[in-house]
């Protein structure tokens, strides 16, 4: 499952959604909004996506993860719009029979999301300065 | 000699959209045209985005394209600056 959303991400519900009787390892990764990047303070972030391509890439990533590991289920959600410090921007939940597989599959999925999915963040500083991270 | 022209629209996002002041750019390319031709025309017509374009990808129909990818009138073309999701 993959999804773009403008609503807060319910990480507990997402984790529940990938639980399977045959899977004894479940890994959840959350990417949250950080207050400091280097020595630059962030007030809030804005995320923008090229939605149809982002969904196509997330589908490819899901298929890739399922092809490489014995995945019970995988859920990838990325939030868009304005996010405050501490908000969950991205969540990846993976279940596998064993923990090593689940860790590896989850790590692979989030690394690919950050590399391939056309989503951009704009950092807004307390002084009103704002810039895209490219 | 007159050459055929290929009308395309390039979707813009993030800083590219802000630099251009528009969420898409319409261009007439010599036909047939590839992504490399699009890059050349886009950079010369829209110098404000040329520097970002040089380190951006182009997508054709939701897939990353390389410079040799041919373009058709019905293609959905997008400029993809370095991504920063997560």
Q: How high is the ipTM of this complex? A: 0.94
CATH number of the structural domain spanning residue A26: 3.90.1170.40
pLDDT digits (tens, 9 = 90+) for A50-79: 999 999 999 999 999 999 999 999 999 999
Q: What is the pLDDT of residues A105-132, one digit of tens each?
A: 999 999 999 999 999 999 999 999 999 9
Q: Which domain holds residue A52?
A: 2-128
* Confidence (pLDDT) at A39: 86
What is the predicted pLDDT for the residue at B3? 66
Q: Kindly state whether residue A21 falls inside one of the protein's structural domains.
A: yes
B61: pLDDT strictly greater than 90: yes
Q: Residues 78..107 of A with a Cβ closer than 8 Å to B: which? A: 78, 89-90
Distance CA A94, CA A102 (A): 6
> Per the structure, how many domains does chain A have?
1
The predicted structure's pLDDT at residue A117: 98
**Is residue A134, in this structure, part of any structural domain at all?**
no
The residue that leads in pLDDT, B1 or A57, is: A57
Instruction: Render pLDDT for A21-37 as a digit per residue (tens, 0 to 9).
Output: 999 999 999 999 999 98
Question: Across chain B, what does the average pLDDT equal?
Answer: 95
DSSP β-ladder status, B77-80 and B5-11: parallel
Query: What pLDDT score was predicted for residue A90?
Result: 98
pTM score of the predicted model: 0.95
User: Rounded to whole angstroms, what are the CA distances from B72 to A19, A128, B11?
Assistant: 45, 42, 15
Query: How far is Cα of residue A103 from the mean position of the Cα atoms in its chain?
Result: 15
Residue B4's pLDDT is what?
83
What are the tokens at A79?
């939030």
Q: Is residue A133 part of a domain?
A: no
> What are the Cα distances from residue A86, in Å, to A9, A68, A78?
12, 32, 15
Of B15, B18, B83, which has the smallest distance from its Cβ to A118's Cβ? B83
- Please indicate if any CB of chain B lies within 8 Å of the CB of A3: no
Chain A: nearest CA to B59, how far in angstroms?
Answer: 9
A97 in any annotated domain: yes
What mean pLDDT do residues B60-68 have?
98
CATH superfamily of B10-21+33-80: Beta-grasp domain (3.10.20.30)
How many angstroms separate the CA of residue A56 from the nearest CA in chain B?
Answer: 7
Q: Residue B1 — very low, low, confident or very high, per pLDDT cuts 50/70/90?
A: very low
Across B22-36, average pLDDT: 96
Q: Is residue A33 part of a domain?
A: yes
């Amino acid at each position: 499952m993959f999804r773009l959303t403008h609503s807060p991400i319910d990480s507990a519900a997402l984790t529940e959604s990938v639980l399977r009787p045959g899977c004894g390892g479940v890994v959840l990764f959350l990417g949250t909004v950080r207050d400091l990047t280097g020595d630059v303070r962030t007030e809030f972030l804005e995320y923008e996506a090229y939605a149809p391509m982002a969904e196509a890439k997330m589908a490819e990533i899901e298929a890739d993860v399922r092809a490489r590991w014995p995945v019970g289920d995988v859920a990838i959600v990325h939030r868009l719009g304005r996010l405050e410090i501490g908000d969950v921007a991205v969540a990846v939940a993976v279940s596998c029979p064993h923990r090593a597989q689940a860790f590896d599959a989850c790590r692979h999925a989030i690394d690919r999301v950050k590399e391939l999915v056309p989503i951009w963040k704009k950092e807004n500083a307390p002084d009103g300065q704002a810039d895209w991270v490219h | 000699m007159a050459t055929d022209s290929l009308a395309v629209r390039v979707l813009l996002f993030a800083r590219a959209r802000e630099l251009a002041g528009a969420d898409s750019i319409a261009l007439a390319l010599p036909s047939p045209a590839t992504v490399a031709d699009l890059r050349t025309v886009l950079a010369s017509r829209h110098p404000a985005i040329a520097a970002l374009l040089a380190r951006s990808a182009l997508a054709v129909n939701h897939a990353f394209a390389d410079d040799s990818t041919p373009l058709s009138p019905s293609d959905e073309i997008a400029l993809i600056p370095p991504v920063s999701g997560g």
